[in-house]
Amino acid sequence: AVERTLSIIKPNAVAKNAVGAILARFEEAGLRIVAARMLHLTREQASAFYAVHQERPFFGELVDFMTSGPVMVQVLEGENAVAANREVMGATDPAKAAPGTIRADFADSLTENAVHGSDAPETAAVEIGFFFPEGVCERTR
Q: Which residues bind ligand CMP (CB under 6 A)?
A: 53, 58, 62, 92, 110-111, 113, 116
By beta-carbon proximity to ligand CMP, the closer residue of 23 and 89 is: 89
Q: Strand, helix or coil at 67?
A: coil
* Element housing 66 (H / E): helix 59-66
Catalytically active residues are: 116
Alpha-carbon distance of 7 to 74, in angstroms, equals 5
Residue 96 annotated as part of some ligand binding site: no
Closest CA to 58 of 113, 131, 18: 113
By beta-carbon proximity to ligand CMP, the closer residue of 58 and 130 is: 58
Q: How far is the CB of 42 from ligand CMP (least distance, A)?
A: 17
Alpha-carbon distance of 67 to 61, in angstroms, equals 10
Residue 10 annotated as part of some ligand binding site: yes
By beta-carbon proximity to ligand CMP, the closer residue of 68 and 111 is: 111
Residue 58 annotated as part of some ligand binding site: yes
Residue 86 annotated as part of some ligand binding site: yes
Q: Which long-range contacts (CB under 8 A, 24 or more apart) does 16-21 make?
A: 16/106, 18/106, 18/114, 19/72, 21/106
Q: How far is the CB of 80 from ligand CMP (least distance, A)?
A: 18
Residues of the binding site: 10, 58, 86, 92, 103, 113
Residues of the binding site for ATP: 10, 58, 86, 92, 103, 113
